Structure 1
């Protein structure tokens, strides 16, 4: 299926304007010698021999590759990804389509972004907050004692979904309170939720509130929810079907540990590395997080950590003692790690710390025990830095890096499949734009285009129609529809390449039989589509 050498088809500007073409210029580099028609069969480029290159002059040395004018060979999955491929029944299907796990994860995130609030549960939600509409609560709202509430909303400016945090009835007493938030907006770190905007004196909720606009990470859980239980029930409805949906990803347990047991050590080290990266970026910008808490740290996907609520504490309780606040961040990190290690959210209480550290000593490595002890203890000099925990992480950093690169390789492989599928879709779009056009069948007097009434049924277009039937409408000897994905993909690849292989096309009534090459079919396809695209519009005759 993948061993057909093909060429990237050339699309005309009108087709690209519809979002169906690729109008990027070819990459810079030496042009291939000789002329190469885009519709002739692809021939393998000359083999490059390093020995012959080294014997020539430096100026004439060939690069270790050959520019094939857009021609390349579709080889299927990246070779080094093969060891991650599922085995058994259905494993080969992954070669053409995105893996089910990745697909379902992305689908559920899309559903979360498109979800709407159930109006019977949240009748008092405002229709719009400044440029944001379609508000959906992301946390349970306490109408009587709430001081903050969190929603997702869609911006009418760019159509992007954002997370907004409302500070109920809060007023800015001095413009200086907003200065740290300007720094937060400039902070860009993969483990910190990005602050985008601050809306002061917001009247949409019936009071004077401050609204902070953050990036939205769909289906992200807090560490408290992920590891210490999830509140049941859902008040979200699908924006299209109206059905209630759940915020739980399939395959994601609400807790990744048994009651009373701590998080596995490799996962805990992953959290340490990501949280230290986030705090390092925050502290380097002269800020303090002040939100290192189980309820404020998010887990996105399987185990990506996001430090949330940046800038909230700077508004609620302005403090200029940044160094002291940064020290408190380290203490808070120690408390979070101790809670995760013991499976007890209250393990950092003064009367439980000794017992909790004994548990860590008995069930985790000495490095983890020393790390938590360092974070919880007071420094003799009165000053500690997040950078001091790097030696304690040690070689485990390489494991985290390896995991991230492995994940990147797998996602790149999934992306390469969609590259192929997008190419095949563009071919199908061209074919279906040409065959059996209703405007040509109605006659020129009723056509938008000046087409002959039999345009789709004659000449090159007729061969394209027969090819469409050959690819999609064949039946077996018993009369059963023959639906073979390998046959469909192989035929479309050959058409895209314009190979010299010939194919027998038969009309539905059996009166016409044509034997043509894929190269001829490609020429017919491009000619017919170009004719359609350049057809001038005419005023209909009544």
Structure 2
């Protein structure tokens, strides 16, 4: 054996060139031409000793360099006993002596806590297994345990089991596993409870409340229903065209059938129509006998589409049409059902009441409300570089209580397109028409006489409102020709009535609160009607009368008894009990899956069941899903 091949690589490397009998793995058929007899193992065989690995992994230069194995020193019997680091760290005395005796460096005795398995011996002792294996049902749950799996050294393995906040079932120790699919119907939010939202204007006691407190007011409901009926109203046997562009089902909205060309220069008519494009309803204003001579005139309507104000009736389109057997110009605007004009609301009346109108006038808060809304509309219009041009009581819609909107504003821009007037002049004329409107509303009977109307206005209203009308009409106290004309823009006017704007804004906030309160009273109705629909889909289906697996067994039977409990109760005299509060209470508890129990008795009074609302809700869901699968 050459020295170059002796002891190469690992000390346990089975090199085929080695001939050491104690470490050889080759047989007599190995290559190399050297016949070596393999000895059998017996009690006299020398012990196996691996060859020593040289420093840096280099092989020794010769076989003679291999050192003999070192023998155990007799002094080892007096060596210090082996102690784990945790035990040394817990010792309060003799630490330095142990370091000296064992030769352990300073960094080897750091206080590292021992690994102590949690819920191991203790849980096993509780279970009586003693096999050192945790049961599958008691596996560590990070959402249940109050401590971490690696506890500090010396900690006592006793855990206060907390309920899993993410689990629906809190009955057992530790709750259910977080990753286990839960089939619970209990709602985490108590949304089934009615919580009235303010404002609360009436100071009434609990027993003074009635059923109407759970729903929107009757007058508000009637108003909405009337508006819906007016929107869906049709005109049978109508002589109007069946189709105008994309609009159909025309219904006239004019209260009089007399032609009037005072405002626009052409007789105008208003219709309600439905769009076949989006299904919405719109108001169509038709100008009879108008001939379009300039295409640019009708294009100006595009500018009015960009005007976005709550006090202006939105303009959608304008086009010409011959469906009325003439050349008509038609404007498409928003439709506000059951709306009136200010002229119909405050100025029109039988002749026998004209003397009474002379002594009455609009309340000042109402008139201030009109002022602020018209000022808001003019602000949006003038900011868009346009002018209203029409501020007339017959063209201002009253769409709600003291809620007005400017209407028919874009018509004169098309009809009088060829009239060369600057925007500044038109906007200044808007301010004059604004003041004339206020004077007409405040002194309706004598509005034709400006002098008497102003005198009446000064006596009936405050100085601020009177001076505002004077400022709008340009009849201010300063008439000095040397002074430049004052800036009579809408911005200056709004600055002067800022206090009234705040008052109107506060009133609109109160109205918003009231509408939110009325809406909250109807919040639960859709949820309860869905629950009622499910129950009636399930119970006593006629096609399953002979299928006892459906109607008379299982949860369907409980649901049938629950329906009788809710709707078919009788009193001591066997008279039917009609109690809406009982119905709402039971349905809310069912929808929430309450843990409260209810007693259900069969119609023949031979069976009695005590079930919880949670179980009933589960039965509703399971039965409805089974019904859907039978379709």
Q: Does 1:289 align with 2:388?
A: yes
Measured in 1, the distance between the counterparts of 2:424 and 2:415 equals 18
C-alpha contact 2:192 2:592 (8 A) present in aligned 1: no
C-alpha contact 1:221 1:298 (8 A) present in aligned 2: yes
Q: Does 1:141 align with 2:141?
A: no
After superposition, what is the alpha-carbon deviation per residue over 1:436-467, rounded to whole angstroms, capped at 9, x for unaligned? Answer: 122323x6xxxxxxxx4651332111111110
Aligned to 1:335: 436
Measured in 2, the distance between the counterparts of 1:286 and 1:179 equals 15
Q: How does 1:250-399 map to 2 (within 5 A)?
A: 258-318=357-417, 319=419, 320-344=421-445, 347=447, 349=448, 352-377=449-474, 380-381=484-485, 384-399=488-503
C-alpha contact 1:40 1:498 (8 A) present in aligned 2: no
Shift of 1:143: 6.5
Shift of 1:377: 1.1
Aligned to 1:418: 522
Residues 197, 90 of structure 1: alpha-carbon distance in 2 compared, 3 angstrom cutoff: farther
C-alpha contact 2:243 2:249 (8 A) present in aligned 1: yes
C-alpha contact 1:496 1:522 (8 A) present in aligned 2: yes
Aligned pair partner of 1:434 in 520, 531, 538: 538
Aligned pair partner of 1:74 in 186, 189, 193: 193
Q: Does 1:497 align with 2:569?
A: no
User: Greater shift after overlay, 481-490 or 131-140?
Assistant: 131-140
Shift of 1:36: 4.3
Measured in 1, the distance between the counterparts of 2:517 and 2:288 equals 46
Q: Does 1:164 align with 2:284?
A: yes
Measured in 1, the distance between the counterparts of 2:257 and 2:328 equals 16
Shift of 1:292: 0.2
User: Greater shift after overlay, 88-97 or 266-275?
Assistant: 88-97
Aligned to 1:151: 271
Measured in 2, the distance between the counterparts of 1:389 and 1:206 equals 46
Aligned to 2:182: none
Select the structure with the greater relative contact order (CA < 8 A; seq sep ≥ 6). 1
C-alpha contact 1:180 1:314 (8 A) present in aligned 2: yes
Measured in 1, the distance between the counterparts of 2:317 and 2:204 equals 44
Shift of 1:94: 3.1
C-alpha contact 2:211 2:580 (8 A) present in aligned 1: no
Aligned to 1:219: 338
C-alpha contact 1:137 1:150 (8 A) present in aligned 2: yes
Structure 1: unaligned runs, 5 residues or longer: 1-31, 42-67, 233-253, 444-451, 538-542
C-alpha contact 1:85 1:91 (8 A) present in aligned 2: no
Aligned to 2:52: none
Residues 342, 481 of structure 1: alpha-carbon distance in 2 compared, 3 angstrom cutoff: same
Residues 500, 229 of structure 1: alpha-carbon distance in 2 compared, 3 angstrom cutoff: same
Aligned to 2:569: 474
C-alpha contact 2:318 2:329 (8 A) present in aligned 1: yes
Q: Does 1:116 align with 2:247?
A: no
Measured in 2, the distance between the counterparts of 1:173 and 1:85 equals 66
Measured in 2, the distance between the counterparts of 1:403 and 1:284 equals 25
C-alpha contact 1:260 1:342 (8 A) present in aligned 2: no
Measured in 2, the distance between the counterparts of 1:487 and 1:294 equals 52
- How many residues get paired? 438
Measured in 2, the distance between the counterparts of 1:327 and 1:466 equals 75
Q: SS of the residue aligned with 1:514?
A: strand
- TM-score in terms of structure 1 length: 0.75
Which segments of structure 1 move beyond 6 Å, counting only runs of 4 or more?
A: 85-90, 143-146
Shift of 1:306: 0.4
Aligned to 2:578: 483
Measured in 1, the distance between the counterparts of 2:458 and 2:289 equals 46
Measured in 2, the distance between the counterparts of 1:505 and 1:520 equals 13
Shift of 1:151: 0.7
Give RMSD over aligned pairs: 2.8
- TM-score in terms of structure 2 length: 0.65
Shift of 1:267: 0.5
Aligned to 2:296: 176
Q: Does 1:132 align with 2:132?
A: no
Aligned pair partner of 2:559 in 454, 461, 464: 464
Q: Does 1:531 align with 2:630?
A: no
Q: Does 1:205 align with 2:324?
A: yes
Q: Does 1:185 align with 2:305?
A: yes
Shift of 1:84: 5.0
Measured in 2, the distance between the counterparts of 1:492 and 1:513 equals 21
Measured in 2, the distance between the counterparts of 1:383 and 1:179 equals 31
Shift of 1:229: 2.4
Q: Does 1:509 align with 2:604?
A: yes
Residues 181, 85 of structure 1: alpha-carbon distance in 2 compared, 3 angstrom cutoff: farther
Measured in 1, the distance between the counterparts of 2:538 and 2:346 equals 56
Shift of 1:161: 1.4
Residues 368, 86 of structure 1: alpha-carbon distance in 2 compared, 3 angstrom cutoff: farther
Q: SS of the residue aligned with 2:305?
A: helix
C-alpha contact 2:358 2:443 (8 A) present in aligned 1: no
C-alpha contact 1:77 1:95 (8 A) present in aligned 2: no
